[in-house]
Amino acid sequence: MPNKEKEPVFQLVKSMTSAEKRHFRVSRMEGGTAGKPLYRQLFQVMDRMKEYQEKAILRKIPEIRKSQLPNLKGHLYSRLLTDLRLLYKQKDPVIALREQLDYAVVLYDKGLYNQSLRILGKIRIQAQQLDEISLCHQIIELEKLLESRHITPGMESRTEALSAESRNITRQLNSISNLSTLSLRMYSLYLKLGHVRNERDARMVRDFLGNQLKQVDPDHMGFSERIYLYQIYCWYHYTLQEFLLYYRYSAKWVELFGDPLTHRPVDLSMYLKALHNLLTACFFTNNAARFNAELRVLEAFLAAYQDSFDENTQLYSFIYRYTALLNKHFLEGTFSQGLPLVSEINRQIGVHKEFIDPNRTMVFYYKIGCLYFGAGDNPGAIEYLNRIIQMKVGDLRQDIQCYARILHLIAHFEMEHYSLVEYLVKSVYHYIYVHRDLSLVLEEVIRFLRRNLYASPSGLQQGFRDLHERLIQVSKKPLETRSFLYLDIVSWLESKIRRMPVQQVIREKFEKGVPRF
């Protein structure tokens, strides 16, 4: 039976680009069976396989014994990594610097101290220019070791300079470590909560951050420190639904990189992440002009650097670009025009299926479900919402899981599947109640569906008007706006009252500059 997930070497082979495979095939050819070593024959067979099958490998390469295969896979894995490192050294200056550091260690071990110091001095400057603080620390520590064991002219002045640099690097390392840990924990909290549901959630988020950043001064920080600092503030204000502050810090984050088309960012993925957050902030603040301007920046950046992206950056570029394109249609109310994006999103999810996480997939499915619903295609919406409902992801993104079930109910209600809605509404209510996500908005929607399943046309119209009036009142409560971030239920109700497509209602609001929430 295929067991691809447990075969790291097979995953590595399948992740390689055509250029990487070609580089491996032509590099360091050795003699062996039929002029080709067994590990290279194994590579060829794995490259042609769609799924890992051990029996097929043994059948196609009879020279390999079953007991020999584990060691051969380990050898191939090692060879591939070695070859990839040589190839990536030409693209990634940090890999090249680490190699030079290894050379310095070898020279030190051979007693060639001056040669070692020359290399260290050169790569320390390069590491500082790249803001590679951890690498700088390793270089300085080796320099200190050399200076302490090998007396050279001018040692006293170099010792003072190294000591000062060492203290500064240690401070930066501690700061980066603390900030990166806090950023990760803040992100984890968001994945658990989504946007805060009530005052209890808001208090928990505020208490979580507390006074941990009280003494922080961005003006006395390095590049990496400020990136983590702005990440923390972004996640903090995004979780609290404080979107203007989220916009401010995502803009500061992007500004750190300057003009990416003039000066290529060292970390392409980090720049894309910053730009993605700024686009999201523009979306939630209904800033259409800035959104479109930043989307043009994103498209220009991708066009300029796409060919040099590694797998990680290719994945992020797909996620961030198509998230922005979907949000553009939500912002402008052009849902039908956005439907052609769906096939490409599905194709890209398939291309990156080994690397894309369930959270990203779930968010795409929810946005696609909303896209179909906004375009009036309820069967299409139900298909993608069902994908979320059937995912086995535990408590991951409970917010998306809850709202997917509500929209799923509404789509069936639109299709007049009343008996099915009557059956499903109890389980949906129970699910949302158990996961403590029963906001006033969701409670009102569920109550409406229960009361109006078999209402007369005139009674149903009155029900739409009554629910619309109640939700307008609910929307005035700050933390209740959360529900409208996930589901534009007010625009749906207005479309039913005015008897027009929901995307036409949202489009009119966009053209008049009326905020969606």
Instruction: For residue range 265-280, list pLDDT tens digits in order.
Output: 878 899 999 999 999 9
The answer, yes or no, to whether residue 35 has pLDDT greater than 70, is no
- Provide the pLDDT for residue 339: 97
With cut-offs at 50, 70 and 90, classify the pLDDT of residue 2: very low
Report the candidate in 86, 52, 84 with the shortest Cα–Cα distance to residue 69. Answer: 52
Q: Between 301 and 131, name the one with better pLDDT.
A: 301
| Residue ranges of the chain assigned to CATH 1.25.40 | 333-517
Largest CA distance in the chain: 97
Q: Between 94 and 31, name the one with better pLDDT.
A: 94
Enter the pTM of the model: 0.84
The answer, yes or no, to whether residue 5 has pLDDT greater than 60, is no
Report the candidate in 393, 390, 387, 455 with the shortest Cα–Cα distance to residue 421. Answer: 455
Structure letter (DSSP) for residue 286? T
Instruction: For residue range 168-191, list pLDDT tens digits in order.
Output: 889 889 999 999 999 999 988 887
Amino acid residing at 181: T
CA distance 426 to 418: 13
In this prediction, residues 340-346 reach a mean pLDDT of 97
With cut-offs at 50, 70 and 90, classify the pLDDT of residue 321: very high
- Provide the pLDDT for residue 3: 42
CA distance 63 to 373: 57
Instruction: For residue range 433-474, list pLDDT tens digits in order.
Output: 887 666 788 888 999 998 888 888 899 999 999 999 999 988
Report the candidate in 504, 501, 510, 461 with the shortest Cα–Cα distance to residue 376. Answer: 501
Could you count the other beta carbons within 10 Å of the beta carbon of residue 81?
12
In this prediction, residues 378-384 reach a mean pLDDT of 96
Instruction: For residue range 460-471, list pLDDT tens digits in order.
Output: 999 999 999 999
- Helix residue ranges, H only, 49-92: 54-60, 69-88
- Provide the pLDDT for residue 156: 63
Structure letter (DSSP) for residue 36? S
With cut-offs at 50, 70 and 90, classify the pLDDT of residue 517: low
Element (H, E) at 45: helix 38-48
What lies within 8 Å, CB to CB, of 405 at 6+ separation is: 385, 389, 428, 431, 432
Is residue 504 within 8 A of residue 495, CB to CB? The reply is: yes
100, two tokens: 């030079």
The answer, yes or no, to whether residue 298 has pLDDT greater than 70, is yes
The CA–CA distances, whole Å, from 160 to 144, 145, 157, 163, 450 equal 11, 14, 5, 5, 77
Q: Between 279 and 7, name the one with better pLDDT.
A: 279
**Angle in degrees, 0-180, between the axes of helices 199-209 and 155-193, rounded to the nearest 10:** 170
The CA–CA distances, whole Å, from 239 to 97, 328, 359 equal 39, 22, 16
CA distance 398 to 434: 11
- Collapse the DSSP code of 341 into the 3-class scheme (helix H, G, I; strand E, B; otherwise coil) and give the result: helix
Burial class (CB in 10 A: 0-12, 13-18, 19+), 25: middle
In this prediction, residues 365-393 reach a mean pLDDT of 95
The answer, yes or no, to whether residue 1 has pLDDT greater than 50, is no
239, two tokens: 């979780």
Amino acid residing at 256: L
Is residue 257 within 8 A of residue 265, CB to CB? The reply is: yes
CATH class of 333-517: mainly alpha
The answer, yes or no, to whether residue 158 has pLDDT greater than 80, is no
CA distance 396 to 230: 24
How confident is the prediction for the chain on average, in pLDDT? 89
